[in-house]
């Protein structure tokens, strides 16, 4: 039986980490660049934390070490980071 090659292996996606690292830097840059414009800052902070969460989950998927505790940890760190950035804006 022949296996399907429709799914992309996470082992082959090294560029994924570079892309998400670059996105995190970009969102952080937007946060700093648009200082004083609350909506843009909140949006950039939200996108930064979501990108961090996705990056962490995919990292553990790639290394086959993803557990519920990892997902909860990345979610909580992203949430705390968002709250801290939101307080900075206000």
Q: Which domain holds residue 72?
A: 35-90
Q: Is residue 39 part of a domain?
A: yes
Asked whether residue 2 is domain-assigned, the answer is no
Residue indicated by tokens 């892309």 = 19
**CA-to-CA distance for 89 and 6, rounded, in angstroms?**
44
Q: Which has the closest alpha carbon to 82: 56, 57, 58, 47? A: 47
Tens-digit pLDDT profile for residues 2-61: 554 545 555 556 677 777 778 888 887 777 777 777 888 888 888 889 989 998 998 888
Confidence of residue 73 (pLDDT cuts 50, 70, 90): very high
The answer to whether position 74 is within a domain reads yes
pLDDT range class, residue 79, cuts 50, 70, 90: very high
Number of domains the chain contains: 1
Q: Is residue 25 part of a domain?
A: no
31 burial via Cβ count (<10 Å: 0-12, 13-18, 19+)? buried
pLDDT of residue 66: 92
Helices of type H across the chain: 14-33, 38-62, 68-89
State residue 64 phi and psi, 5-degree precision: 55, 40
């Amino acid at each position: 039986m022949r296996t399907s090659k429709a799914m992309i292996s996470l082992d082959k996606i090294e560029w994924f980490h570079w892309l998400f690292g670059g996105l995190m830097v970009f969102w952080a840059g937007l946060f700093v660049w648009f200082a004083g414009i609350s909506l843009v800052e909140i949006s950039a902070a939200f996108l930064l934390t979501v990108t961090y969460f996705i990056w962490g989950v995919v990292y553990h998927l790639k290394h086959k070490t993803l557990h519920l505790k990892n997902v909860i940890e990345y979610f909580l760190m992203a949430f705390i980071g968002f709250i801290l950035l939101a307080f900075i804006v206000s």
